[in-house]
């Protein structure tokens, strides 16, 4: 399905919704019975949001959106897996989204757990959790070895977990592109943008960290 708006327009809608949320001037659009009735026969969201499952990142709330606006996919630490790629490809090909927004956040428990896995004495964690968090480990090790060369084991009180989280966010965007020819082709054709953002738990602000495709994020991308 063809996208209905440009990646830039989709991004600006997300920015303005987030700004309303920060300012406490939400419009709470598309959250009533009329909207429910209108879209009962089919969905046509313009944005797919792939983010961490953290309960403080409630997608429609922090972007001031409503029913049928966002195609939301979340797991702990926003780690790419086949089910994630399939969901994103569905959103692009069948629903015509113009933007994939990857949402990380500061003080992420999944990143902290991945840091713990890199110490010399990791905590006991369920096997599924350990396996799921593995894509975060290289980012933790990259940040650790950037500043430390004496030991391969990470010291939890010496590493900047948020820096590891931002690196993992960039890697997540790259992982999505590597895993999906459909998304790569859509980006190359100018129909899809991907923006990786970090959400501040304290002030609710969305900061773009990496962007791919035909859009300007309007903030310095670091």
For Zn ion, the binding residues (CB under 5 A) are 52, 54, 108, 110
30/74 with CB nearer Zn ion: 74
Q: Rg of the chain's alpha carbons, rounded to an integer?
A: 18
35/170 with CB nearer Zn ion: 170
10/62 with CB nearer Zn ion: 62
73 beta partners:
50
Closest separation in Å from C-beta 162 to Zn ion: 11
**How far apart, in whole angstroms, are the C-alpha atoms of residue 31 and residue 169?**
30
C-alpha distances (whole Å) from 6 to each of 77, 96, 129 are: 28, 11, 37
**How far apart, in whole angstroms, are the C-alpha atoms of residue 97 and residue 46?**
4
Closest separation in Å from C-beta 197 to Zn ion: 13
Closest separation in Å from C-beta 1 to Zn ion: 31
202 CB neighbour count, 10 Å cutoff:
7
Closest separation in Å from C-beta 135 to Zn ion: 13
169/176 with CB nearer Zn ion: 169
Closest separation in Å from C-beta 175 to Zn ion: 16
9/162 with CB nearer Zn ion: 162
**In this structure, is the dihedral angle defined by the CA atoms of residues 164, 173, 132 and 51, taken in order, positive or negative?**
positive
The answer to whether 195 touches 11, Cβ cutoff 8 Å, is yes
**How far apart, in whole angstroms, are the C-alpha atoms of residue 26 and residue 61?**
9
Strands 70-75 and 47-52: parallel
């Amino acid at each position: 399905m063809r996208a209905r708006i440009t990646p830039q327009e989709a991004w600006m809608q997300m920015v303005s919704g987030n700004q309303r949320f920060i300012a406490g001037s939400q419009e709470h659009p598309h959250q009533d019975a009329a909207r429910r009735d209108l879209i009962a026969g089919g969905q046509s969201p313009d944005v797919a949001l792939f983010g961490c499952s953290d309960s403080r990142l409630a997608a429609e709330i922090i972007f001031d959106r409503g029913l049928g606006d966002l195609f939301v996919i979340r797991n702990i630490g926003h780690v790419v897996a086949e089910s994630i790629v399939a969901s994103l490809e569905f959103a692009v090909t069948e629903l015509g989204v113009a933007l994939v927004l990857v949402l990380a956040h500061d003080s992420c428990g999944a990143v902290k757990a991945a840091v713990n896995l890199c110490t010399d004495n990791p905590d006991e964690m369920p096997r599924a959790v350990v396996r799921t968090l593995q894509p975060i480990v290289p980012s933790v090790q990259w940040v650790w070895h950037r500043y430390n060369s004496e030991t391969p084991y990470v010291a939890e009180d010496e590493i900047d977990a948020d820096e590891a989280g931002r690196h993992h966010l960039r890697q997540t965007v790259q992982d999505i592109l590597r895993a999906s020819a459909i998304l790569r082709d859509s980006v190359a054709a100018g129909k899809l943008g991907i923006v990786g953002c970090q959400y501040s738990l304290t002030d609710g602000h969305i900061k773009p960290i990496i962007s791919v495709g035909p859009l300007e994020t309007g903030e310095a991308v670091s």
